[in-house]
Structure formats: structure tokens, C-alpha cells
Amino acid sequence: MAGVGLPLAVYLSPLYAKEVGLGLELTGLLFMLLRFWDIFTDPVMGYMVDRYRSPLGRVRHWILLSVPILAIATYFVYLPPRTGAGPGYFVGWMLVFYVGFTLLQTSRSAWVPAIANTYDERSRLFLWPEIVSTLSMLTLLALPALLPLLGFKLDRFGQVAVMGYVLLVSLPIAGALAFFFVPDRPVPGDKGHAMKFELKPIWAAVKNQLFGRLLLMELFAGTAIAVTASNYLFVAEYVFELSDGQASLILMVFFIVAVAAMPLWLMLARRTEKNIAFRAATLTSAVSYILYFILGQTGGFWPLFIGAVVNGTAFSAPIVLTRSMTADVVEWHTSRTGENRAGIYYSILTSAYKIGSSLAFGVGYLMVGQLAGFHPGPGNSPEAINGLLIIFCLLPAGLYLCASIASWTYPLSRAMQQDVARSLDPRGPQTLD
């Protein structure tokens, strides 16, 4: 899943904006509209995952369905015709792409409450997929850096195509591993009530004091991540004056640091609370963009390398922690209703992330193009390039600061989760007073 998501943000958006020829503003607008469409489809898929089960289990059959949908769309999205693809081609295949991706993402996330039942175990269970996902990203990021060393001279079309072929091989393998080897057990406290698709439970989840706070945290952090990802190659090429190979190498180091630092953030969460670790991580990220701005005045490989190392230390923590905290909220909801709504809760959380991503592409590219006056290609003035750097630094820093503030008084503590878990124990009461 991360192997799909990272190239989409870092490589595909510049490819369609520059090489394919859609332009910066139109590409940003289309990405924004497509991600807003997911806001309507995500809750439907969350409901389907919760409602329709099979002899295979609660979610296995949804994994089986999502992989071929995503694979077909990956082929057309990652291998666009070199003669040019119009907006219709882009929008059509991206819609199919997002359907497959959302179904896979929702199914996998809804699986977690059935596997991990304790406060810290959920963080651990989201940590290891993050590590595996990062290894997948590193493999893809290594390709643009390694292929020239092996004698292959690939342009941006070729680089993205290679990534697409790797995904076409890895998606079925990953889906098969999950399908055959991950247990799909019932969720404790879930009475299996038949659920109709209604807006009421969706609206109730959004209004939930616990979950509503998580949505804000996810929205701010997700937008900050997407702004960074969508503009990284432009900043590396035009501000720091690096080649694609050098930019990919620094991204590899960035994600290695992110994986290495992640256990430290979870250690902080175990010794304190998850929201405290989230707040520390987002404040660290916010401060790192000041360093990016200072180093951008110099340019070159090593200044961007140093900025990426500092920024990477806190990259993975906010998203891993919000997903772990959502599993606690799903358990809290099950204790009160007897219904497992993991699919709907995670689909809404994913929607918040996608809203942030769409705003990052739409508003971020619009600000870069209209306010900074930057457009990919030759002829950018020093003022336009500096404007790109300012937006790249200022916008994510402010968003991470907002995410940190939103986490300040998050109420679901470790002690509260333990009380909820005891109420679901079959040897004890089924409801929490």
C-alpha cells in the first residue's frame, strides 16, 4: 500500500504535470477533486466491509477483491501513453485506482481490532506494517538511483513505469500473504447485528468527542505530509539543484531514518500516552521545516540530506499513532453498542487523510503556481524559486503545529482503554457503566 501511495504523491503528480503536459494547476485541481470524491465512497466501502461477511471471514474476501482492481488501474496510471494523456484518461483511471486502493486500505485497517486487543499492542501492530511499507518504498526509491549506475538511462516516464511493474508483481504476493496467513477472527463484544447503510452512525462517529479529535489530528498531519511529498522533487531540483538520482537517494535515507526512529516514539507512547507521543512528533516535524528553509539558502546535496534526516525522525509517528488510537475508539464503540464499526471508523479516518491530500495538491500547487509564480521547467526567477521554498516550509510547519494543538486534551487514556477492555471480557460485564 505504501508502495502505491508514495510514488503517487512524489513521482506521478510531477509526471502528469510536466512530462504528460497537464500543467501544474490542472494536475493539482484534478488530484483535489478526485480525493474529494473519495469522501463519498469511503464510508460506503467502510459500511460494506462491516456489513457483508463471508465464509472466508470478516475481511479476507475484500482483500481478494481489491487487489485485481488496484492492479489493473496501476497499469494504466503508472504507464500513461507517451504521446500524451488528456484529463479524461487521468480522471477515469484514477477513479478506478482509488476504488481499489480505498477498499484494500479500509479492509486492512478494519482487521486490526480483531488481532490486537491491548492499548500498546495496537501501536506495535501498526508499527510493523509501517516498517514493511517503508522497505517497499525504499525498494521503489532505489530504482531511479540504481538504474543509471547499471547503465539504464530512463527519463521520468521510464522511472514511473518501472515502479508500476514492481507494484504489479508485489500486489498479488502481498494480498496472498495476508489472505492465507493472517487470522480473521471475530471481534470481542461484536454481537453481529445486521447493519443498514445509514448516515446516522457515520454522523455519530464524526460527532464523537474521541473520534472527532482524531479526525482533526489526521487532517492536519496528512495535509502536511502531502504538501511535502507533492513538492519534494520540485524543491530538490530547483532549490537544491539535485538530479533525480540524488533526490531519490536522499528520500531513501529519509525513510530509513523514519523506520529507525519509530520504535522510540512508541517507547514514548508506552511510558506516557499516545497523544503525548503524537504531540512530541508533530512539534519535532514543525521545527524541522525551519531547518529546511535555512539550508535551502545554500543548496546542494548535503544541506538537503541534513534537513531530510531531521525531518524523517518524526515522519511515521503521527499516522501510526492515530490509527492505533482509532482501534481504541472502535473498541469503546463496540462496548456500548455491540456493533463492530471498524470499517466505517477507518474509512472516515482515511477520508480525513484524503481531504488533507487533496487540499495539499489543489491548494498547495495553486499557491506555488499563483503566489510564488513557480512553474516546472526553465525560466523560473530566483524570487519564484524562493517562493516555492517558503511554501514548502511554511505550510507544513503550520499544519503540524495545528495537529499538535488538536492532540493536547485527547481524553481516551490508557486507564480508560483498560476499563473498556475489561468490560468486553466474556467473564465480566458486557456494558461499561
CATH number of 14's domain: 1.20.1250.20
Contact status, residue 233 vs residue 374, Cβ threshold 8 Å: no
Average pLDDT over residues 108-127: 81
**Positive or negative: CA dihedral 124, 179, 166, 30:** negative
Q: Which residues contact 221 (CB under 8 A, 6 or more apart)?
A: 282, 318, 319, 322, 356, 399, 400, 403
Please tell me the pTM assigned to this model.
0.76
> Strand, helix or coil at 57?
strand
Q: Which residues contact 373 (CB under 8 A, 6 or more apart)?
A: 380, 381, 383, 384, 387
Alpha helices in 272-408 (DSSP H): 274-296, 301-312, 317-337, 342-366, 382-406
Residue at 169 is within a domain: yes
Residue at 129 is within a domain: yes
Q: Per-residue pLDDT for 97 more than 50?
A: yes
Which one-letter DSSP state was computed for residue 149?
G
Amino acid at 1: M
pLDDT digits 0-9 by tens, 216-234: 999 999 899 988 988 898 8
Residue at 186 is within a domain: no
pLDDT of residue 6: 63
Residue at 347 is within a domain: yes
Q: Return the C-alpha cell found at 378.
A: 526553465
pLDDT of residue 271: 94
> To the nearest whole percent, how much of the chain has pLDDT over 90?
36
Average pLDDT over residues 294-298: 95
Question: Which residue reads 477533486 in cell numbers?
Answer: 33
Average pLDDT over residues 142-163: 80
Task: Report the DSSP beta bridge partners of residue 57.
Answer: 54
Q: For the chain, how many structural domains are there in total?
A: 1
Which one-letter DSSP state was computed for residue 193?
-
> Strand, helix or coil at 54?
strand
- Its domain, for residue 84, covers 2-179+196-423
Alpha helices in 208-273 (DSSP H): 209-234, 244-271
Cα gap 19→361, rounded to integer Å: 17
pLDDT digits 0-9 by tens, 343-401: 888 888 888 887 887 777 777 777 888 888 898 888 899 999 999 999 999 999 999 99
Question: Which residue reads 473519495 in cell numbers?
Answer: 38
Buried b (16+ CB within 10 A) or exposed e, 313-338: bbbbbbbbbbbbbbbbbbbbbbbebe
Residue at 143 is within a domain: yes
